[in-house]
Amino acid sequence: MQENINIQNKKARFKYITKKKYVAGLVLTGLQIKSIRHKNVNIDNAYCNFDSNELFLYNINFENSQFSKKNNSIKLLLNKNELLKIKKDSDNPGLTIVPLNLFINKSGFAKIQISIARGKKNYDKRQTIKSREAKIKIGRIMKKK
């Protein structure tokens, strides 16, 4: 039975407010898919950008010693309508495209969930930290009773 592979970008959930989400396929080599299956991938510093009407994922870190750091871009597979919508939305000032989640679907293909996102201000980040700590504190109190 295949193990469930789900690699999260926790920094993106903290730094950005997500608007629309899309699921895209990835064009990968053999070593890259092998790294994903062994969960040796880091997408915390990754970002997406358009290059000649194609969407690419940059700065993804495959922690495989045989993989070169030079070619660090991966093409994302989306249909034309989705690409046009994403390009239109990302052209607005303050909006960017961030990868949220890298997973393998039931068919065995690697997919990535990307989102149109707006950066949080410092006071929004502080509010997120406060609410997270309050949930932890309530959980501890409920556990004692």
What tens digit of pLDDT does each residue of 55-88 get?
999 988 887 756 555 557 899 999 999 999 999 9
Report the percentage of the chain scoring pLDDT > 90: 44
Contact 7, 101 (CB under 8 A): yes
Please identify which residue in the block is written with the tokens 């993106």.
Answer: 12
Taking 50 as the threshold, does the pLDDT of residue 1 lie above it? no
pLDDT for residue 65:
53
| Kind plus residue range of the DSSP H or E element containing 19 | strand 16-26
Of residues 65 and 54, the one with the higher pLDDT is 54
